[in-house]
Amino acid sequence: MMRSVLIKRFVQDALSSSRSTSRFSIPAVSTINRHYAVSASVAQEEAEAIVFPREGPGISYGLNWALAGRGVIVKDKAFYNLKSSELQQKGGSTAEGLSGLPVHVRGDLTGGASGISKAEFSKLLKQVTSHISSSSNVFVQDGAVGSSSKCDAKVRVISDTPSAVLSLSNVLWKTPTRAVSHDSCPMTVYVASSISPNSVESVGLKSQVNSGIVAADIERSSLILCGKAFSDTQNVKDALAALAEPVISARGGIPLSARLLVSGDSVVLLFASDDIIKSCSNILVSADAGVVLSAHGVSPLFQTGNSSTPSSFKVPTAVIFATADSSGVLPSASKLSPGQAAYHFLAGYQNGKFVPAYGKGPSALDPLELAKSLLSKLKDHEIPSFLLNVNKGEKKITDKEFVNLLQSTLSKNIPPFEPKVWLRLQMELSKVSTRALYQGNSKNYRRNCRSKSPAVSFFAYQKLHMCLSLYLFLLNNCNNFVRQSYKTMPNVDVGQS
């Protein structure tokens, strides 16, 4: 009895379920197609209205991520590699040139700039990146120091103003898109033109009112330009060159503080002081010092300002050292051996003063190592070298006479440097001036070792090391006559370090 009741209830429930299903019958195939056709149409309209990722002028997620890696968070837009006309449309203009702004470099080995500690630079960098991040528009420009892609140093400029980018784009060489992103050790230039002077001074650095400062850290490959510092073209170039030196050197190039002179088919590497350069500026590739010498040839560090001038040249046919000597020891023109050429490069002698490697600005490379590299290059490529004296007694030769001397030196057979003259030169200059230079820096080193600042002591040590290296180089590279006169090192007590 119970079983029949359960079976009857089960059958009734099944029939009830069947009737309920019939009320919600499956829609026709045509209805399904029409529904999905409408959905696809709506989706297409939405796809046309919304582009993901939403990128356009000033909006690039890839660039924003790259900038974030350098401490800059884009607030609104970041404009990348704009043309000069586009920068001008954004408000960029050519600023009035400045000079003589304070330059602080961490890692300078030659004393061409004031020092800055790691903590000071880190604090300043944090202030600058925070300031740029607060700007509505950020301007980014890629370039390079050195025109040869085989041994250049890639640079990325991050600025709060298009004017700075416009200025630096006339200094740096152009690079292919993404060249900086794919580079193993790119340099970064941060420009904070509108940062408060108080922010800079809070770090412990003095800045000129409404002008700013130049600060670089060679270890970080970073350069900071505050205020109108981007308009101080010479100091900016000097700082960029110092940052680029380790990279260029690691890639097989030799960064040199020289000019390029082109005369007919001859490409000449000219080492000279700024006042001498004025005599022949019209025949120079660029009046600015700075070239890269490599196995592939020679090229300027920065743009020359002449679009018709080649960006690179063949290996130099000659190297010329123009010096000023009023003592009558140096002849007007003489041919140098590779060793003698390396010595004159290292000494950078100008009327009783020494400018090692002819470089006045900061440098990350030891002048002695540069001299060795130059010596190797002169030997490998058999490049002839000449020494020119721009003085006739106490009087300097005229500009026209200097140009004629240059041209005649390249076209005539010049006698080699006589050993007797070489001996007299070493006795007069090296024995007196170099030893005095070494002794003077030894005293400075002892005094600065008592300083509470490790940075001051380290800087004094670097100067002492440079002078000692110069002295040792003289001993090892002069001829036998000179070596006999320097059998012992100078008797200098450097004290306890």
Residue 334 burial (10 A CB sphere; 0-12, 13-18, 19+): buried
Most confident residue range from 76-85, 179-188, 344-353: 76-85
Round the average pLDDT of the chain to a whole number and report it. Answer: 78
Q: Give 84-151 as a DSSP string.
A: HHHHHHTT---PPP-----EEEET-SSSSSB---HHHHHHHHHHHHHHHHTSSEEEEEEEEESS-TTS
| pTM exceeds 0.95, yes or no | no
The reported pLDDT for the residue numbered 497 is 32
Evaluate if residue 227 carries a pLDDT over 50: yes
Evaluate if residue 486 carries a pLDDT over 80: no
Query: DSSP E strands: which ranges in 160-229?
Result: 187-192, 214-217, 222-226
Most confident residue range from 61-65, 126-130, 261-265: 126-130
The reported pLDDT for the residue numbered 19 is 47
In a 13 Å sphere around the CA of 60, the CA atoms on its Cβ side amount to: 14
Evaluate if residue 451 carries a pLDDT over 50: no
Q: Give 343-410 as a DSSP string.
A: HHHHH-EETTEE-GGG--S--SS-HHHHHHHHHHHHHHTT--EEEEE-EETTEEPPHHHHHHHHHHHH
The reported pLDDT for the residue numbered 352 is 75
Dist CA 47 CA 37 (whole Å): 15
Average pLDDT (222-242) is 95
Percentage of the residues of the chain whose pLDDT score is greater than 90: 41
Average pLDDT (301-328) is 88
Quick: pLDDT tens for 359-376: 888 999 989 899 999 999
Least confident of 5-14, 108-117, 314-323, 339-348: 5-14
Dist CA 378 CA 271 (whole Å): 14
Dist CA 228 CA 212 (whole Å): 6
The reported pLDDT for the residue numbered 467 is 52
In a 13 Å sphere around the CA of 117, the CA atoms on its Cβ side amount to: 11
Evaluate if residue 218 carries a pLDDT over 70: yes
Give helix 367-380 / helix 338-347 axis angle, nearest 10°.
150
Q: Which two tokens stand for residue 324?
A: 């000023």
Quick: pLDDT tens for 156-214: 999 999 999 999 999 999 998 888 988 888 999 999 999 988 888 888 776 655 678 99
For the chain, the structural domain boundaries read 61-250, 254-417, 419-497
Average pLDDT (414-431) is 53
Which contiguous run of DSSP H or E holds residue 255? strand 254-256
The single-letter DSSP state of residue 418 is P
The reported pLDDT for the residue numbered 457 is 45
Instruction: For residue 468, give the amino acid letter.
Output: L
In sequence order, the β-bridge partners of residue 143 are 155
Least confident of 154-158, 245-249, 278-282, 423-427: 423-427
pLDDT-based confidence at 18, cuts 50/70/90? very low
Least confident of 81-90, 381-390, 475-484: 475-484
Higher pLDDT, 443 or 418: 418
Evaluate if residue 280 carries a pLDDT over 80: no
Query: What is the number of residues in the chain?
Result: 497
Higher pLDDT, 398 or 294: 294
3-state secondary structure of 46: helix
Residues 6+ apart with CB under 8 A from 255: 241, 244, 245, 248, 249, 290, 291, 292, 301, 365, 370
Write down the architecture of domain 254-417 according to CATH. Answer: Alpha-Beta Complex (3.90)
Q: What is the CATH number of domain 61-250?
A: 3.40.449.10
